[in-house]
Copies of this chain bind each other. A is one copy, B any other.
């Protein structure tokens, strides 16, 4: 497909005159094409258009929004191999992985559509009036409502599932909000293709084309101008701790602060009890190595820390497994530079021993899988050892005894996940679980942190620095809640109420009526 290198602003493809940046092929390690950034004025125009679209968007029913989301999924699939090949050129992730990621992307869009059709996600609640009470009790009805234009910063490591039409965009649209997307500069052609799919869906569903905007660019001033734009009501971001924190800090300075949902750094520690090590050490070593190497370690849930009692046999098995695991390509020279800085910090730490890998090629993004080791005492006293190293590397923390193992669990920073490998009736699992749940969004037993199931019970979040908002999730059904707020309507006539709150419950959704949950009329 012939791409325009334009941004989609206020419902139209527009040539932009900002600073140029290059797309890059990780496999050849060569520049692909030059793209122009959108300017600050382009960004303002995109937000202005999105704001204008909100009043009409609010009037669409849940069913209408569901049909629109399903059309987006259809249009993504209709891009066919063009999308997969383009994404592969820009990310080097391989067609098998990208085919799977496209499936996940369309599945999560369709999952939101299914939720909208069912309708109960709005958490409707009704308390009817009681005129006899002193003082009289009013009629109160409450539900989740959209908030207005949402700004989305997609990630580089999932060019589709966390891309222009990824989970943040899908959940913001599902909730009924216009979306302004600042495309990731690592995959501009993939972003343009996704925006083409979105435009086709908007057209076919008769929704105003300024409902979704996509600006290309890699300038700080563009990103910052969007973060402080007073018409933006919330921000979704997936990426590094440094960038995420800078967005949080800038948003906090706004005249009207807004929520920032940033998913940032996580080391996803994996704890292995002595009993599990004795029973399944080699299997666990192989499982960990596969998890470390998956996506060339560029998963937010990559296992970056492994905690066991010191065990030479397991360490040897893990070294073998890490050395044997497939090698892949880092996404971009900037990611390679970040990984090199992290590896250098580890290798130059007197308390860290190199067990495998760590030598990064200067002229290639193909990257060895790495394993380094330290002691529990070092880990407990050196905060630098808790920092995420984004790439296929893990830090083995060797403990002297079970007390140290639990102390390490107590000391881990905020993470998306923690994992416990244990045996049945393994008493050590109890203190580990009770401690680890205070630090993570998801606690896994006898599995591996990579692989984030999209379902109602998923919690993809965690205490800072994993995320800016530990209470919400960026994956799974409840991701939609981030881009809503509750509104209560007091003594509102039926004709003015949203359909979800009208007495007759024509949508037959689950509602809490005078403290009882049911699908009936009020």
Question: How far, in angstroms, from A509 to B83 measured CA to CA in the complex?
Answer: 46
The answer to whether B127 touches A438, judged by C-beta atoms less than 8 angstroms apart, is: no
Say whether, besides A424-B493, A433-B496, A485 and B470 are in contact (CB < 8 Å): yes
Question: How far, in angstroms, from A226 to B88 measured CA to CA in the complex?
Answer: 50
The answer to whether B486 touches A127, judged by C-beta atoms less than 8 angstroms apart, is: no
Interface string of A110-153 (1 = CB under 8 A from B): 00000000001000011100000001011011100101100000
Please indicate the chain B residues that have their CB under 8 angstroms from the CB of A492 in the complex: 433, 443, 445
Question: How far, in angstroms, from A103 to B306 measured CA to CA in the complex?
Answer: 54
Which of B424, B461, B488, B491 is in CB contact (< 8 Å) with A441?
B488
A322 interface residue (CB < 8 Å to B):
no
Q: Which of A91-99, A207-215, A452-460 contacts B (4 or more CB under 8 A)?
A: A452-460
Give residues of chain A (175-197) contacting chain B, Cβ–Cβ below 8 Å. Answer: none
Please state the number of chain copies in the assembly.
2
Give residues of chain A (413-468) contacting chain B, Cβ–Cβ below 8 Å. Answer: 414, 424, 429-430, 433-434, 437-438, 440-447, 451, 453, 455-459, 461, 463-465, 468
Count of A interface residues, CB-CB < 8 Å: 72
Please indicate the chain B residues that have their CB under 8 angstroms from the CB of A145 in the complex: 437
The answer to whether A135 touches B487, judged by C-beta atoms less than 8 angstroms apart, is: no
The answer to whether B58 touches A434, judged by C-beta atoms less than 8 angstroms apart, is: yes
Say whether, besides A441-B488, A486-B441, A465 and B256 are in contact (CB < 8 Å): yes
Say whether, besides A55-B434, A249-B252, A490-B447, A453 and B137 are in contact (CB < 8 Å): yes
A21 interface residue (CB < 8 Å to B):
no
Most B C-beta atoms less than 10 A away, residue of A437, A469, A471: A471
- Besides A430-B496, A441-B485, A443-B489, 19 more A-B contacts (Cβ < 8 Å) are A127-B453, A142-B457, A142-B459, A248-B252, A252-B252, A256-B464, A256-B465, A259-B469, A424-B493, A433-B492, A433-B496, A442-B489, A443-B490, A443-B492, A445-B489, A447-B490, A456-B515, A472-B486, A478-B486
The 3 closest A-B pairs by CB, nearest first: A459-B488, A252-B252, A140-B457
